[in-house]
Chain A
Amino acid sequence: MINLKDIMETVNMIRQDNLDIRTITMGISLLDCADSDAKASCDKIYEKMTRLAGNLVKTGQDIESEYGIPIINKRISVTPIAMVAAASGGDPVMFAKTLQRVADSTGVNFIGGYSALVHKGFSAGDLRLINSIPEALDVTTNICSSVNIGSTKAGINMDAVKIMGKVIKEAAVRTADRDCIGCAKLVVFCNAPEDNPFMAGAFHGVGEPDCVINVGVSGPGVVHSALKRCPDGDLGQVAETIKKTAFKITRMGQLVGSEASKRLGVPFGIVDLSLAPTPAVGDSVARILEEMGLEHCGTHGTTAALALLNDAVKKGGVMASSSVGGLSGAFIPVSEDEGMIEAVRTGNLHLEKLEAMTAVCSVGLDMIAIPGDTPEEVISAIIADEAAIGMVNSKTTAVRVIPAVNKKAGEELNFGGLLGSAPIMSVNLESSPKRFIDRAGKIPAPMQSLKN
Chain B
Amino acid sequence: MKKTVISVIGKDSVGIISKISATAAEYNVNIIDITQSVLQDMFCMVMLTDIGGLSCSFSEFSNKLQALGKELNLEIHVMHEDIFNSMHRI
Contact = CB atoms under 8 A, between A and B. Distances in A.
A438 B59 CA distance: 60
Given A11-B9, A252-B83, A2 B88 contact: yes
A2 B62 CA distance: 21
A65 B39 CA distance: 26
A255 B58 contact: no
Nearest to B45: A4
A255 B86 contact: yes
B79 A68 contact: yes
Contacts of B83: 10, 67-69, 252, 255
A4 B43 CA distance: 12
A15 B74 CA distance: 13
Interface string B71-90: 00001011111111111110
Interface string A1-19: 1111111111100110000
A228 B88 CA distance: 21
A10 B84 contact: yes
Contacts, number: 72
B33 interface: yes
Contacts of A442: none
A65 B87 contact: no
A174 interface: no
A350 interface: no
A11 B78 CA distance: 10
Interface residues of B, number: 29
Contacts of A254: 86
B24 interface: no
Contacts of A65: 58-59, 62
Contact of A8 (B7, B62, B81, B85): B7
A101 interface: no
Contacts of B80: 66-68
A417 B72 CA distance: 32
Contacts of B37: 4
A13 to B, nearest CB: 9
B39 A67 contact: no
A251 interface: yes
A101 B62 CA distance: 34
A248 B9 contact: no
A248 B85 CA distance: 11
A11 B86 contact: no
B44 interface: yes
A8 B39 contact: yes
Listed residue (A2, A7, A10, A67) with the most chain B CB atoms within 10 angstroms of its CB: A7
Given A65-B62, A255-B82, A11 B77 contact: yes
Interface string B36-67: 11010000101010000000001100100000
Nearest to B34: A1
B18 interface: no
Contacts of B39: 4-5, 8
Contacts of B79: 10-11, 66-69
Contact of A68 (B46, B48, B78): B78
A251 B87 contact: yes
Given A7-B84, A10-B88, 13 more contacts: A2-B81, A2-B85, A4-B39, A10-B83, A10-B87, A11-B79, A14-B77, A15-B75, A65-B62, A66-B80, A67-B80, A69-B79, A251-B87
28 contacts: A1-B32, A1-B33, A1-B46, A1-B48, A2-B5, A2-B84, A2-B89, A3-B35, A4-B37, A4-B39, A5-B39, A6-B84, A9-B88, A10-B79, A10-B83, A10-B84, A14-B77, A65-B58, A65-B59, A65-B62, A66-B80, A68-B77, A68-B78, A68-B83, A69-B79, A69-B83, A252-B86, A255-B86
Interface of B: 5, 7, 9, 32-33, 35-37, 39, 44, 46, 48, 58-59, 62, 75, 77-89
5 smallest CB-CB distances across A and B, nearest first, come from: A68-B79, A6-B88, A255-B86, A251-B86, A2-B84
